[in-house]
Structure 1
Amino acid sequence: MGLLAVSAVLAIALSFARFPAALLLGPMLAAIAFGVGGARLLLPRPLFLAAQAIIGCLVAHSVTPEIARTIIDDGALMVAAVLVTVLAGVVVGLTLTRLQVLPGATAAWGSAPGGAAAMVAMSEAYGSDPRLVAFMQYVRVAAVVLTASLVARLLVDVSAEPASAVAQPFPLTSIVATLGIAALGTGMALVLRMPAGALVGPMLLGAALHATGIASVAVPGPLLDAAYAAIGWYVGLRFTRETLLTTLHALPGILVATGAIILLCGAWAYGLTFLLPIDFLTAFLATSPGGLDSVAIIAVGSKADVSFVLGVQTLRLFTVLLTGPILARWIARSAPDASA
């Protein structure tokens, strides 16, 4: 009840301040405080997957065939944007390894820019410390959400009411169809072992059905608010007192590494504005290193080009998942010999 109350207060305050994704940011900050404060709370994973599926449907409502045209027209630069972000993670991982702030494989998995949950699971299978990897990943996700929300708040005109894809009332048939798409898309993606399947499955299925007119995707406000809050709690509650104490010696290096990745990606985003007819907010969200669901929420809630942002973010997610094991082994081999 305390977490609910504090989350509500922070979300309302951030909403009045016109922060995009206030209902994500408020619960996340509250959950971080409660988790580090010793509250042994945990959001059940099925609820987190359900929240991701709802966000996938929200994105599907906003995605049009333009996303395919965007990938075709700007494919080379989108690939370049992905490679620069991945390279930034590699540079940071190598630096942490060379300075012996973290073990090589742990630094590599923790610095991988995307797919936090997948990186934690894969790191454990490859012999890294999943606690350190989880802490690095979720510190970065939280930092990206905070930074992206702040950038969006500064760059979006708050004198006008932002347009909302879910503000109007929806017919019951559309809501039922959306829930069906969420369940079916999630099930299919999980069976196919698709990365971030609970988000990507409903997003792809819903976008195809919505764009072709076969089904109308609609996400009612209360359901969307609950999904925002669930994702915020899931990320925030990962910051426990025990994890913080375990990683305290590496915390300065982790914070510096997180800031370095965000700055490198932000600089590349600025460069993209000279190469493509996109605004800085769109470029910043597209190159933000991690948290596809969180970035999608901010992109939809602001005036960014959702198609471009999601195109780059989705492409990077698959790239990181495919190259993660190779890069982790390479960075681990580059670590100084402890026996020397």
Structure 2
Amino acid sequence: MRRAGRVLLLAAIVAVLIGVLELLHVSAATLIGSLAGALAFSLVLRQELRFPEPLYLLGQAMLGASIGASIDLDTLRSIGGDWPVVLLVSVATILGSVVLGLMLSARGTITRETAVFSSVPGGASGLTVMSRDLGADDRVVTVLQYLRVVIIVASLPFIVNLVFHPSDSGGSARIASTEHLLPALLFTAFSVAVGLVLGRLARLPAGGVFGPMLVAAIVHGWFGAVGVPNALQQAAFVLIGLSVGLRFTRAAFATIRSLLPLALLNIVIVMIMCAALGAWLAHVTDLSPLDGYLATTPGGFSAVLAIATTTGGDLTFVTAAQLVRLLMILAGAPIFAWFLRRR
């Protein structure tokens, strides 16, 4: 099948799934429909289609701008008293996942470095880039990291709906109204363009999200306190879902076939561990159980924030907690590699 035909087939599958999920009132139906459609296209129909990296960055950037427009600086300052708890939860998550990674390497099929970098939640794109230089098998790290991301992104909307029952009132992200469409488009274009450049120059972790988010948080008042138009938000969810789903071809799964049972068990345990830590975080702070869960969800950063924008979650706290863990993971990766090589 030619590329044009594959693109049309993928678009049809995704459109049908999004329509069904919208009828079922599933949170983030656009995101989960795009992901499920891409997985069906790759794994069931055995079709391959390379997703353009610039489009993935564009999706991340538009989501980042949407989140930045919703960040309340007063709320961000109010987190100050809860930072020790956030740090403790992040450290517990990382250490627990390191122990699980070492258990994954016990069979001797992969090295300890590969197992640990495959198991640590969050920072999937950063860890896969760093893994080869740190002595790990980057092929295995990439597949296992994105396997976890796919499982989390696919299960997150259903867990949120079945366990937390969020209201249907919509999220807290600012969405541009029709009469403010031009300022909203200008705001979005400025935040995305400047934010992507800032993210690259400053070498921010997950710069595709954080660069535009920071710019949007600073400048959204200049444009009349508008937000990203809803159509562009939905387009961002589609781009993110397609990018994650299309990474999983049958060839990718072949590289981890012997590890798959243990890897899946590892992912489930990490998810349960993070959910328990999220419940404790919500208990000792003023967070809702849903916010605690989203703040500690192990990976799928863009998807977590997308869910938060559609369920009325505390975007500021969720973003801050996820960012803290992400920074700790990326900064600590070389230290973990050195320690494992010394043993």
Tell me if TM exceeds 0.5.
yes
CA distance in 2, matches of 1:159, 1:179: 31
* 1:323 corresponds to: 332
What is the CA-CA distance between 1:255 and the residue it aligns to? Answer: 0.5
What is the CA-CA distance between 1:5 and the residue it aligns to? Answer: 1.0
Going from structure 1 to structure 2, the CA distance change for 1:238 and 1:163 (only over 3 Å counts) comes to: closer
Q: Contact conserved, 1:148 with 1:285, CA < 8 A, in 2?
A: no
Q: Contact conserved, 1:66 with 1:307, CA < 8 A, in 2?
A: no
Equivalent AA in structure 1 for residue 71 of structure 2: V
Q: Contact conserved, 1:51 with 1:226, CA < 8 A, in 2?
A: yes
What is the CA-CA distance between 1:177 and the residue it aligns to? Answer: 2.2
* 1:198 corresponds to: 208
Going from structure 1 to structure 2, the CA distance change for 1:197 and 1:166 (only over 3 Å counts) comes to: same
Is 1:137 the counterpart of 2:145? The answer is yes
Going from structure 1 to structure 2, the CA distance change for 1:101 and 1:252 (only over 3 Å counts) comes to: farther
Q: Deviations over 1:92-137 (max 9, x none)?
A: 1111122435321111111121111111111122232222111111
CA distance in 2, matches of 1:123, 1:43: 22
Q: Contact conserved, 1:273 with 1:279, CA < 8 A, in 2?
A: yes
More RCO (CA 8 Å, sep 6+):
1
* 2:30 corresponds to: 23
* 1:12 corresponds to: 19
Q: Which moved more, 1:143-152 or 1:17-26?
A: 143-152
Equivalent AA in structure 2 for residue 208 of structure 1: I
Specify which of 107, 118, 121 is matched with residue 129 of structure 2.
121
Structure 1: state its 5+ residue gaps.
335-340
Specify which of 75, 82, 93 is matched with residue 90 of structure 2.
82
CA distance in 2, matches of 1:95, 1:331: 14
What is the TM-score when the length of structure 1 is the normalising length? 0.92
CA distance in 2, matches of 1:96, 1:66: 43
Going from structure 1 to structure 2, the CA distance change for 1:91 and 1:6 (only over 3 Å counts) comes to: same
Specify which of 298, 301, 307 is matched with residue 316 of structure 2.
307
* 1:50 corresponds to: 58
* 1:103 corresponds to: 111
Equivalent AA in structure 1 for residue 232 of structure 2: L
CA distance in 1, matches of 2:269, 2:144: 13
Specify which of 227, 251, 262 is matched with residue 253 of structure 1.
262
Q: Contact conserved, 1:14 with 1:22, CA < 8 A, in 2?
A: yes
* 1:223 corresponds to: 232
Q: Contact conserved, 2:183 with 2:226, CA < 8 A, in 1?
A: no
4+ runs of 1 displaced by more than 6 Å? none
Going from structure 1 to structure 2, the CA distance change for 1:10 and 1:73 (only over 3 Å counts) comes to: same
Count of residues paired in the alignment: 332
TM-align CA RMSD: 1.9
Q: Which moved more, 1:98-107 or 1:201-210?
A: 98-107
CA distance in 2, matches of 1:78, 1:269: 10
Equivalent AA in structure 1 for residue 279 of structure 2: Y
Is 1:32 the counterpart of 2:39? The answer is yes
Going from structure 1 to structure 2, the CA distance change for 1:119 and 1:259 (only over 3 Å counts) comes to: same
Q: Deviations over 1:8-67 (max 9, x none)?
A: 111122222222211111111111222224312011111111111000011012211134
Is 1:188 the counterpart of 2:198? The answer is yes
What is the CA-CA distance between 1:218 and the residue it aligns to? Answer: 2.2
CA distance in 2, matches of 1:54, 1:306: 15
Equivalent AA in structure 2 for residue 180 of structure 1: F
Specify which of 291, 296, 300 is matched with residue 291 of structure 1.
300
* 2:288 corresponds to: 279
Equivalent AA in structure 2 for residue 313 of structure 1: Q
Equivalent AA in structure 2 for residue 194 of structure 1: L
What is the TM-score when the length of structure 2 is the normalising length? 0.91
Q: Contact conserved, 2:148 with 2:267, CA < 8 A, in 1?
A: yes
Going from structure 1 to structure 2, the CA distance change for 1:319 and 1:103 (only over 3 Å counts) comes to: same
Three-state SS of the structure 1 residue aligned to 2:313 is coil
Structure 2: state its 5+ residue gaps.
1-7
CA distance in 1, matches of 2:283, 2:59: 36
* 2:156 corresponds to: 148
Going from structure 1 to structure 2, the CA distance change for 1:100 and 1:206 (only over 3 Å counts) comes to: same
Percent identity over paired residues: 34
* 1:209 corresponds to: 219
Q: Contact conserved, 2:149 with 2:299, CA < 8 A, in 1?
A: yes
Equivalent AA in structure 2 for residue 328 of structure 1: A
* 2:3 corresponds to: none
Q: Deviations over 1:80-102 (max 9, x none)?
A: 12112212221211111224353
